Amino acid sequence: MIARPQASIRKQVYQRILELGTVSKADLMQEFPLTSSSMTRLLDDLVAQHIIQISGLGSSTGGRKPILFQTNPTYRYLLGLEISRIYSTLALYDMQLNLITSTRWHMDAQMTPQHFVERVGVETQRFLDNYSLQSDSLLGIGIGAVGPLNREAGLITQPEFFKAEGWDEVPICELLKQKLNIPAVLDNGSNTALLGENWALRGQNVQHLLYVHTGVGLRAAMMSEGRLIRGAADAEIGQMIIAKGGTNFEDHGNHGAWETFVSVRALQQRVRDLLKKGHASLLQHKQPEDLTFADLTEALHQGDALVNEQFIEAAAYLGLGLANLIHVLHPDNIVLGGPLIEAHPLVLETAIFTAMQNINTGRSYTPTFSVAKLGEHAVAAGAALMLLQEWNV
């Protein structure tokens, strides 16, 4: 058995095997300050416990072919959960972060915390039944949620714009621990999405990564050299002022704030106001107050001129805010996700064009942009990865 002082090295070795996929003892010896015999004992111990497994033999460099190791994907399973204002996603992953199955549901006016926890319990049991798994095969559940949060206490504190009541001061980790009888860890959904996207980009040598999520509100997270950058509190990036003297949305927040121009809620309200004034649109047969974001995206794809103009305007303001963040943070890559980005390619194109028109880049620095590779699973996947990273192997 590995002695207690070596526990951190044991975890680091496991994480490195996970990152590399397959690795030899010689590869690991180049990165960790262990003797050959100590590394052999550590690897043998992890194999004996079925935490890692032998995956084959590598290429010979003149001697015996090296044994290759990889993490055991079925040692346990991981749950990743996204809690958002529009929808929530629960996903099941193996220990190599391969998606096994997932489900998504709308966060309507009936989705109180109590109903939400019950739904997670029902869906988790369905996952287990469908794949013939026992509850003790779950390592735990990672949660990515809208803020503000008390991460250490596992608490969703005072979020805004949930349709259901009761979401203030919700001990979500404790509720899910009691329901599922497994460990639960919590972080802001933008942070977990960034963890997931960084995992998807591994091997591409991205040192400084910015993630921006465009939904009911605006969220952002930054990573530098593999580490999340955290402030003293959850950043309300949507409150960044981009129009001096502008209005605020629903009498909330700063006047001229970014989310006043870009958020899904603000976009919906602008279209509703225009329809009430009699502007022509494919949506004019609907009651303005009943319009959903899905209605807007459908009209956008059908070529509705009014809706198209509003999406382009929102995308342009998105680009202006991105330019501000780029000037301050200087990321290598900006990953964009969320319902607004996913609505139509013109949103991404307009946002990137506007951002690039409003930044001063030198010869040695030009940022790149990409759409979230994990799409609607970014937050849940990153939450599962967070759980795996915090696991004491």
For the chain, list the domains and their CATH numbers: 4-71 (1.10.10.10), 77-195+378-390 (3.30.420.40), 206-371 (3.30.420.40)
CA distance linking residue 115 with residue 107, whole number of Å: 10
CA distance linking residue 248 with residue 284, whole number of Å: 26
Q: Which pLDDT score is estimated for 219? A: 87
Q: Is residue 5 predicted with pLDDT exceeding 80? A: no
Give percent of the chain with pLDDT exceeding 70. Answer: 95
Q: Which pLDDT score is estimated for 62? A: 66
Residue 255 tokens, joined = 């006047």
Q: Which pLDDT score is estimated for 217? A: 83
Q: Is residue 314 predicted with pLDDT exceeding 50? A: yes
Q: Which pLDDT score is estimated for 3? A: 37
8 A C-beta contact, residue 189 and residue 145: yes
Q: Which pLDDT score is estimated for 99? A: 97
Whether omega for the bond prior to residue 367 falls within 30 degrees of 0, making it cis, is no
CA distance linking residue 63 with residue 68, whole number of Å: 15
pLDDT band with cut points at 50, 70 and 90 for residue 363: low
Q: Which pLDDT score is estimated for 85? A: 87
For 39, counting Cβ atoms within 10 Å of its Cβ (0-12 exposed, 13-18 middle, 19+ buried), the class is middle
For 282, counting Cβ atoms within 10 Å of its Cβ (0-12 exposed, 13-18 middle, 19+ buried), the class is middle
CA angle 107/379/194 to nearest 5° reads: 145
SS3 content of the chain, % helix, strand, coil (to 5): 45, 20, 35
Q: Is residue 302 predicted with pLDDT exceeding 90? A: yes
Strands 155-156 and 208-214, sheet pairing: unpaired
Give percent of the chain with pLDDT exceeding 90. Answer: 66
Q: Which secondary-structure segment (H or E) carries 121?
A: helix 113-130
Q: Is residue 4 predicted with pLDDT exceeding 70? A: no
CA distance linking residue 20 with residue 43, whole number of Å: 15
Q: Which pLDDT score is estimated for 57? A: 82
Conformational region of residue 101, where left means phi above 0, alpha means psi within -120 to 50, and beta covers everything else: beta
Query: How is residue 135 annotated by DSSP?
Result: G
Give the tens place of pLDDT for each residue, 43-91: 999 999 999 999 888 776 666 788 999 999 999 999 999 999 888 999 9
CA distance linking residue 387 with residue 139, whole number of Å: 8
- What average pLDDT does range 123-147 have in this prediction? 96
pLDDT band with cut points at 50, 70 and 90 for residue 158: confident
Three-class DSSP category at 361: coil
pLDDT band with cut points at 50, 70 and 90 for residue 275: very high
For 94, counting Cβ atoms within 10 Å of its Cβ (0-12 exposed, 13-18 middle, 19+ buried), the class is middle
- What average pLDDT does range 255-276 have in this prediction? 91
8 A C-beta contact, residue 219 and residue 323: no
Q: Is residue 2 predicted with pLDDT exceeding 50? A: no
Backbone φ and ψ for 24, nearest 5 degrees, come out as: -100, 165
CA distance linking residue 167 with residue 148, whole number of Å: 11
CA distance linking residue 353 with residue 320, whole number of Å: 10
Mean pLDDT of the chain: 90
- 14 pairs with which residues across the strands? none
Three-class DSSP category at 34: coil
Across 2-6, 23-27, 316-320, 324-328, least confident range: 2-6
Residue 114 tokens, joined = 């109590």
Conformational region of residue 281, where left means phi above 0, alpha means psi within -120 to 50, and beta covers everything else: beta
Give the tens place of pLDDT for each residue, 7-36: 588 999 999 999 989 999 999 999 898 899
